[in-house]
């Protein structure tokens, strides 16, 4: 008998709980339907557990009560009950196609769970359950520094393998996306807009002027991010929450924004750790360099030019410029005015990122870019500090 919830006299919290129960029930029903269609036999799911996904999908772990097939004991259902307006990017389609792309690869090349079944009409995915492994966030916010370091290096290696295994698969990805009815998503133009608008924002907010040479460098970085070189699949959302640390290495989850783009945009996260995530913190000295080396070891066979230290440093600097400029353009208007920002806040992150950008630019002999970056870092610290320096992740304190 299906579960029902009487909300006629319930308060808001009870209504919310009832809606959550119904969403889980709908996800399980869709999961059973797509599995029955996929395997030609009824497969009953029991003991559903709401995994509280942060995106538009209802995410549920369920046990298989009985099945004539060699299926795992538990699996994960992702149900997208509401379709986006026509013409807009569909997170269900992006994720379904992403999993299809990886499921076609060998297990050694698959840096994510296996797709067991999916249905475009029901808007549901059923994927292999990787279990209750800790996330990369758990490791970074724990107390084991050595374990966190190993997890970061594993994450960098897995990111490299993900890029290397999909380096020639853009046409496949787009074909799968068209087949599922989703509009092919072109390159994001936001970085171009950010690089064009940030100089005025820096001058207006911080009193820092941007020379034409520095503007050109940033604009070049944005254009390189859209180039046809070094293109591979990207999860886009590289939040540590979306990476499971398993015995076989780090595995990626949540491809709702998955797409093919320049892999060096992702690699910038090795220098500017998790720059696009909420509440990013700092890594200890030398960690970024070790992560870059781990990532490069996986991709150099596909992109031999990246084996050259000078070439790689140039590409990484471009991506670093882009990510720091984009993060500043997005967050600077939202920072609360006045001094006293905490070392775990966005202002401290911007100060540290601009300081690091200045150091790398200096090492590359780009004095004008280095001076500009140092000036921005100083102006940010004067406005929101003083003495701001981004705190380390708890595992490294």
Residue-by-residue DSSP string for 46-107: EEEEE---SSSSEEEEEEEEE-SS---SEEEEEE--SPPPTTS--HHHHHHHHHHHHHTS-G
Q: What is the CATH number of domain 12-128?
A: 3.30.200.20
The correct CATH number of 141-396 out of 1.10.1220, 3.90.1200, 3.40.50, 3.40.190 is 3.90.1200
How far apart CA 395 and CA 283 sit, in angstroms, is: 9
Please write the tens of the pLDDT for every residue from 264-286.
999 999 999 999 888 899 999 99
pLDDT at 17: 60
Percent of the chain with pLDDT over 70: 94
How far apart CA 124 and CA 118 sit, in angstroms, is: 6
How far apart CA 326 and CA 221 sit, in angstroms, is: 11
How far apart CA 358 and CA 207 sit, in angstroms, is: 18
Kindly tell me if the per-residue pLDDT of 47 is higher than 70: yes
Please write the tens of the pLDDT for every residue from 130-171.
988 999 999 999 999 999 999 999 999 999 999 999 998 999
Kindly tell me if the per-residue pLDDT of 12 is higher than 50: no
pLDDT at 104: 87
Closest by Cα among 294, 268, 224 to 360: 268
The residues facing 262 across adjacent strands are: 231
Query: Residues near 14 by Cβ (< 8 Å), separated by ≥ 6?
Result: 7
Let me know: does 140 contact 149? Beta carbons within 8 Å: no
Distances (CA, A) of 386 to 182, 270, 314, 333, 339: 48, 27, 32, 19, 7
CATH 3.90.1200 segments of the chain: 141-396
Kindly tell me if the per-residue pLDDT of 53 is higher than 50: yes
CATH 3.30.200.20 segments of the chain: 12-128
Let me know: does 139 contact 245? Beta carbons within 8 Å: yes
pTM for the predicted model, two decimal places:
0.91
pLDDT at 2: 37
Q: Locate 9 and state its tokens.
A: 């006299």
């Amino acid at each position: 008998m299906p579960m029902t919830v009487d909300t006629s006299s319930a308060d808001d919290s009870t209504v919310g709980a009832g809606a959550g129960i119904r969403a889980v029930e709908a996800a399980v029903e869709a999961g059973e339907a797509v599995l029955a269609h996929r395997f030609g036999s009824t497969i009953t799911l029991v003991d559903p557990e709401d995994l509280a996904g942060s995106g538009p999908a209802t995410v549920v772990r369920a046990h298989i009560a009985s099945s004539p097939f060699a299926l795992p004991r538990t699996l994960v259902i992702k149900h997208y009950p509401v379709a986006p307006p026509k013409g807009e990017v569909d997170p269900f389609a992006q994720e379904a196609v992403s999993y299809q792309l990886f499921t076609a690869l060998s297990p050694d090349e698959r840096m994510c769970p296996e797709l067991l079944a999916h249905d475009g009409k029901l808007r549901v995915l059923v994927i292999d359950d990787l279990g209750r492994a800790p996330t990369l966030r758990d490791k970074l916010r724990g107390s084991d520094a050595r374990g966190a370091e190993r997890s970061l290096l594993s994450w960098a290696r897995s990111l490299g393998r993900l890029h290397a295994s999909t380096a020639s698969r853009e046409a496949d990805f787009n074909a799968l996306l068209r087949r599922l009815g989703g509009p092919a998503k072109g390159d994001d133009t936001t970085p171009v807009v950010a690089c064009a608008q940030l100089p005025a924002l820096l001058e207006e907010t911080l009193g820092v002027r941007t020379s034409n040479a520095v503007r050109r460098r940033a604009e070049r970085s944005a254009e390189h991010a859209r180039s046809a070189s070094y293109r591979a699949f990207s999860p886009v959302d590289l939040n540590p929450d979306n990476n499971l640390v398993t015995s076989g290495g780090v595995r990626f989850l949540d491809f709702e924004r998955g797409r093919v783009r320049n892999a060096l945009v992702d690699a910038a996260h090795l220098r500017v750790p998790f720059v696009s995530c909420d509440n990013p913190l700092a890594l200890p000295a030398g960690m970024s360099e070790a992560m870059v080396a781990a990532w490069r070891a996986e991709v150099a066979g596909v992109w031999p030019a990246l084996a050259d230290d000078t070439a790689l440093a140039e590409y990484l600097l471009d991506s670093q410029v882009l990510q720091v400029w984009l993060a500043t353009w997005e967050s600077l208007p939202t920072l609360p005015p006045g001094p006293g920002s905490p070392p775990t806040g966005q202002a401290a992150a911007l100060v540290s990122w601009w300081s690091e950008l200045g150091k790398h630019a200096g090492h590359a002999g780009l004095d004008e870019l280095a001076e500009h970056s140092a000036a921005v870092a100083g102006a940010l610290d004067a406005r929101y500090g003083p003495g701001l320096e981004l705190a380390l992740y708890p595992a490294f304190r």
